Amino acid sequence: MGRKVFGKNIPPACEYCAKGKLSKDHTKVLCERKGIMSLNSKCFRFKYDPLMRRPSREPELPEYYAADFQV
CA dihedral 59, 18, 13, 27 (to 10 degrees): 70
Contact 65, 56 (CB under 8 A): no
Total Cβ atoms within 10 A of residue 27: 9
| pLDDT at residue 45 in the model | 85
pTM above 0.75, yes or no: no
Rounded CA-CA distance 67/46 in Å is 53
In angstroms, how far is CA 30 from the centroid of its own chain? 16
- Whole-angstrom CA distances from 14 to 2, 24, 59 are 25, 15, 26
Per-residue pLDDT for the chain (71 aa), expressed as one digit of tens each? 445 666 677 788 888 888 888 889 888 999 888 889 988 888 888 888 888 877 778 888 888 888 888 88
